[in-house]
Structure 1
Amino acid sequence: MTMIFENLPKPLAKALEDHGYTALTPVQASVSQPEANGRDMIVSAQTGSGKTVAFGLAIANELLPADQDKMPYTTSPLALVIAPTRELALQVSRELTWLFVPTQARIATCVGGMDASRERRALQHGAHIVVGTPGRLRDHLERGALDLSALRTVVLDEADEMLDMGFREDLEELLDATPETRRTLLFSATMPKPIEALAKRYQRNSLRISTVGEDRGHGDIAYRAVAVAPADIEAAVVNLLRFHEAETAMLFCATRDNVRRLHATLVERGFTAVALSGEHSQSERNNALQALRDRRARVCVATDVAARGIDLPSLSLVVHVEIPRDAETLQHRSGRTGRAGKKGTAVLIVPFPRRRRVEMMLRGARINAEWADVPTLEAIRAQDRERLMEAILAPVEPDESDLEIARSLLEQRTPEELAAALVRAHRAALPQPEEMIASGNSQDRPQPAHREGFDDIVWFRMDVGRSQNADPRWILPTLCRRGHVSRQEIGAIRISANDTWFQVPRAIADRFADAVRRTADPKGEDENGIHIEPAPDGPREVARDNRRSDGPRTAPGGPRAHPGGPRPQFPRGPRPEGKPHRKGPPPKRS
């Protein structure tokens, strides 16, 4: 046994060495110190820091008799581990299984969605450690299948999450059924007041351990953010997957429907992908995770149900396809990668209108994210070339049958033709990257002074402007999607502080307006809260130009001049007593 594991029971030290451990993580080292032995603990640690192994090491002294390497015979559990989700409980069970293999410990797992009768049989045969979710454990307790009278230690993993999910009553019933002499360990990412109250009620002279630094961003995760047009989100996902070519990638969506839709899109494009959401049974979830571990699938599309408790050693890329609801969700999603000292990348796909909100979230989470463009076709092809050269030039040890085929091929084709065929075969197996709708900066492209077909136009208005990060790069695809028109059918775009005006040829204006109504909700807004409406008077800048002019002048391609001279713009009604006319841009819509 090496010196770094000298404070640990010998069988657990051997298990760590056999599993490839050369050092303990900070949280594992903290709970293994002599001053922590036998004490109640409240532990705060970053996700992916080895918490499961940490509390396995922490409870070992309560379970193993002094100077013995094997677990004693028992008919009732000696340790209870409670986790908020099925996935996390199953992951904890797997981790504790290899850690306690040398001790011949029996571990039973009790989670919803699994065969309850099989779980009861496992409990009846005697289990040293029971791992489960609050609801299923409470059910076994009330049915008399779970006996907690001999319990020596209890662990609440992700305690803050369990309270947020409404498991307070379940936890209290379980803890009230345990002996008062038992040891209680609370592992919680945050320490809100409910956790403090729980600790005060069920712990005695607890030791507080925190390995969470000031920078809440995980040190082994590189955060990136890409701003895209809303219509470009799926294309951005495809290009990110193709650029990084991660061994395993996880994509997070907000709803089951979006998981289903994105999963189907990726499979259609040639990616080996699985889906995880609340609509899948436990058996389906297990099969999906096993496919990822076996490398039969490389991409997992999931809702936040998968944000906790899933540990895939090969996972190196997390993509937030839809913006997380808060900083904690961002942390837990991203924490699926960059675990146990390995490097990972987390990418946020940000629709242009929501960039400011994401920037505020990142600042609040103290995460420094690099803003970048979505990988282009050229960048992806350059990466493909490097990976292809590396793969083909990698040393191999062919057997005689391979060499025989190679000689036969060289007799029929030149080396250059064979190399080209090899390259083509490699490329054919790769999904094709997407050309982004809003590729490039439209502001950098020269705009013609006059466009054919825009002599007679109608102005429309959007209730977003520079204050909402309005930019032609995402406005133009949004207009095409909402109005069922092409890019060539949108004329000049004028952006002010809180509004954006744009031109549509009069010949298609009615059709455009009808499509906008059909693609809006009952309030007249789309999924990003954007309202589009006709603005026959044109933008305020054009109106000011017309008022200053000596005749019926208008901006190129702008609204037609009024037959009797310049048409009055934004006419004012009678002013209420004591209230001056409002100056500046109109108030922002709520």
Structure 2
Amino acid sequence: MIVPPPRQELAILTMTFANLPQPLAAALEGHGYTALTPVQSAVTEAEAHGRDLVVSAQTGSGKTVAFGLAMAGELLGDEATLPFATAPLALVVAPTRELALQVSRELTWLYAPTQARIATCVGGMDPSRERRALSHGAHIVVGTPGRLRDHLERGALDLSALRCVVLDEADEMLDMGFREDLEELLDATPEGRRTLLFSATMPKPIEALARRYQRDALRISTVGEARGHGDIAYRAVAVAPAEIEAAVVNLLRFHEAETAMLFCATRDNVRRLHATLVERGFTAVALSGEHSQSERNNALQALRDRRARVCVATDVAARGIDLPSLSLVVHVEIPRDAETLQHRSGRTGRAGKKGTAVLIVPFPRRRRVEMMLRGARINADWVDVPTPEAIRAQDRERLLETILAPVETDEADMEIARTLLEQRTAEELAAALVRAHRAALPQPEELLSGTDEGRKQATHRAGFEDVVWFRMDVGRRQNADPRWILPTLCRRGHASRQEIGAIRIAPNDTWFQVPRAIADRFADAVRRTADPEGGDENGIHIEPAPDGPREMARDNRRGAANDGPRGPRRPMRGRPEGKPHRKGPPRQRG
């Protein structure tokens, strides 16, 4: 098993590409390569030549170029160019249309000096055009399992001359239910062909596939003990559930990434967030299962052409997308597991470039996210959502850098500049330039849960002498915090932040004040915004508590004396029969 040297050693290693075919070495140098990535270096070692390979490598590690280099010996031999082919010499199978198209683009520039003909066969494209491309002779065929199987069964795809087959992201293909398609394709290939199996993980189904279709395969692993991607900085921000979209706006404005990708769990959420961002002035595109292949292609091209800077997508739609300018990934909705977290985040920090992944975490779900991060061995910094003041400070730095950068001008530009100077002072012109720049930027959001004013709502204020106490069934043990409690109360009770008084947080309960003048209106709004069980989407119940938290300190002292700091609590008296309390409220007077 080959384990390549770590990235930091490769960064200072000067590669001459002497062990590569000359046309491919020239293509790499022309594309700006000065060194091979670990997986690319490993597959070109002498021990790997001519052998079947099982390669474990993370997304963004240069896998496409790696298997392009690995199969060069079978395709080129000692020749500099490829002769006309009546049947494909190499087959690359990828799980999604986007990944297959990306692989085709990468192999096109890598094999351009060899005059290779590459055909792409994916769902959503014109199959008759693909059949014509296959009939005219293609050296390399790239496609998705279903479309390739269709061409094979119709007699348009001839695999009899195949010398090499590559299964890219094989674990994803098995997870997506393509086992039968892959087996039919592999069964149609010659016995002597090489099989290169690339997979980010190696579950048992992958090992079974390797045993059946490979011979004496060499294992190559570039996945280290730390599962988090080394070139990705992970951050997490905790917000009130009602302020997630505002947090997205501020994160985009603070980072001002050349390209950013936002992940949502459902098509509806993608549609809603995309509409919100476009309305706020962001140039954004959407990718989900409801979009046609043409719409997806147009969206990706807009990102590559810089006509759009933000992509809102579901997990499935974003598989296989590679955007070199992508430097920010935002998990708008928490990924379902650690593998999804890493797959999403792996869209950035690719091929040695740095990237940032930010998780937006509703306050009640922070503990779950912390457990997920520990399980994935990812160290994430918990930070506050960028404030408008921090965003404006960043804007100032970027504005100065942009305006003071050297620019090329022609005589027409200088003539306009002289005319402007005749009519306005230099200071007035500079101010107009700054104003024009700021006017083009979306305005940041003032998050209630992240401001000093919001945090001060937990203290008593003048005008709250006549109040009614209410109670929530969450406390310190459930990560209760005024930063998310206050927005939750405003949303549930249809109240402003000025209408919420003191907030008292106990181990299992939270008490807060509402002016008596609006108490009935507040209670009615809470009932109307509750689910059938009386809670909200996070299971939080709110109810009037006329006696207030006066007994709370005494109960806590009793609990500490009798049962220890985390001893059992006495149930609330007078609670409706058949509706047990979930988190043990404090005792009240009878």
Instruction: Please list every run of 5 or more consecutive structure 1 residues that lacks an aligned counterpart in the other structure.
Output: 549-567, 574-581
Change beyond 3 A, Cα 1:545–1:314: closer
Out of 377, 391, 402, the position equivalent to 1:380 is 391
Q: What secondary structure sits across from 2:238 in the alignment? A: strand
Aligned partner of 1:319 in structure 2 is: 330
Amino acid at match of 1:153: C
Aligned partner of 1:565 in structure 2 is: none
Matched, 1:18 2:20: no
Matched, 1:119 2:130: yes
Amino acid at match of 1:115: D
Q: What secondary structure sits across from 1:502 in the alignment? A: strand
Q: Is the 8 A contact 1:482 1:516 kept in 2?
A: yes
Aligned partner of 2:272 in structure 1 is: 261
Q: Is the 8 A contact 2:262 2:330 kept in 1?
A: yes
User: Counterparts of 1:508 and 1:277 in 2: how far apart (Å)?
Assistant: 44
Q: What secondary structure sits across from 1:5 in the alignment? A: coil
Q: What secondary structure sits across from 1:6 in the alignment? A: coil
Amino acid at match of 1:156: L
Aligned partner of 2:501 in structure 1 is: 491
User: Counterparts of 1:5 and 1:192 in 2: how far apart (Å)?
Assistant: 34
Matched, 1:480 2:490: yes
RMSD in angstroms over aligned alpha carbons? 2.6
User: Counterparts of 2:537 and 2:241 in 1: how far apart (Å)?
Assistant: 10
Q: What secondary structure sits across from 2:16 in the alignment? A: helix
Out of 187, 195, 205, the position equivalent to 1:194 is 205
Q: Is the 8 A contact 1:459 1:501 kept in 2?
A: yes
Q: Is the 8 A contact 1:304 1:333 kept in 2?
A: yes
User: Counterparts of 1:139 and 1:509 in 2: how far apart (Å)?
Assistant: 67
Amino acid at match of 1:479: L
Out of 17, 27, 52, the position equivalent to 2:39 is 27
TM-score by length of 2: 0.89
Change beyond 3 A, Cα 1:108–1:396: same
Aligned partner of 1:272 in structure 2 is: 283
Q: Is the 8 A contact 2:480 2:505 kept in 1?
A: yes
Quote how far apart the aligned CAs of 1:503 are: 3.4
User: Counterparts of 2:460 and 2:555 in 1: how far apart (Å)?
Assistant: 17
Amino acid at match of 2:146: G
Q: Is the 8 A contact 1:80 1:129 kept in 2?
A: yes
* Higher deviation after alignment, 351-360 or 48-57: 351-360
* Higher deviation after alignment, 140-149 or 279-288: 140-149
Q: What secondary structure sits across from 1:304 in the alignment? A: coil
Q: Is the 8 A contact 2:327 2:349 kept in 1?
A: yes
Q: Is the 8 A contact 2:85 2:137 kept in 1?
A: yes
Out of 55, 58, 74, the position equivalent to 1:43 is 55
Q: Is the 8 A contact 1:461 1:534 kept in 2?
A: no
Q: Is the 8 A contact 1:543 1:569 kept in 2?
A: no
User: Counterparts of 2:32 and 2:119 in 1: how far apart (Å)?
Assistant: 25
Q: Is the 8 A contact 1:441 1:473 kept in 2?
A: no
Change beyond 3 A, Cα 1:274–1:325: same
Quote how far apart the aligned CAs of 1:495 are: 2.1
Quote how far apart the aligned CAs of 1:490 are: 2.6
User: Counterparts of 1:149 and 1:12 in 2: how far apart (Å)?
Assistant: 26
Change beyond 3 A, Cα 1:293–1:569: closer
Q: What secondary structure sits across from 2:65 in the alignment? A: helix
- What pairs with 1:81-160 in structure 2 (closer than 5 Å)? 81-160=92-171
Matched, 1:57 2:77: no
Quote how far apart the aligned CAs of 1:318 are: 1.0
- What pairs with 1:59-458 in structure 2 (closer than 5 Å)? 59-64=71-76, 66-440=77-451, 445=456, 449=460, 451-452=462-463, 455-458=466-469
Q: Is the 8 A contact 1:79 1:128 kept in 2?
A: yes
Quote how far apart the aligned CAs of 1:209 are: 0.3
Residues 192-218 of structure 1: CA deviation (Å, up to 9, x unaligned): 111111111111110000011111121
Quote how far apart the aligned CAs of 1:469 are: 1.0
Quote how far apart the aligned CAs of 1:545 are: 7.2
Give the aligned length: 557
Change beyond 3 A, Cα 1:534–1:86: farther
User: Counterparts of 2:230 and 2:107 in 1: how far apart (Å)?
Assistant: 26
Quote how far apart the aligned CAs of 1:442 are: 6.6
Amino acid at match of 2:180: E
Q: Is the 8 A contact 1:42 1:209 kept in 2?
A: yes
TM-score by length of 1: 0.89
Q: Percent sequence identity over matched residues?
A: 84
Quote how far apart the aligned CAs of 1:228 are: 1.2
Q: Is the 8 A contact 1:248 1:298 kept in 2?
A: yes
User: Counterparts of 1:449 and 1:276 in 2: how far apart (Å)?
Assistant: 47
Quote how far apart the aligned CAs of 1:294 are: 0.6
Q: What secondary structure sits across from 1:337 in the alignment? A: coil
Quote how far apart the aligned CAs of 1:534 are: 4.2
Change beyond 3 A, Cα 1:210–1:423: same
Instruction: Please list every run of 5 or more consecutive structure 2 residues that lacks an aligned counterpart in the other structure.
Output: 1-13, 559-569, 576-580
Quote how far apart the aligned CAs of 1:455 are: 2.1
Q: What secondary structure sits across from 2:123 in the alignment? A: coil
Quote how far apart the aligned CAs of 1:271 are: 0.9
Out of 510, 513, 529, the position equivalent to 1:500 is 510
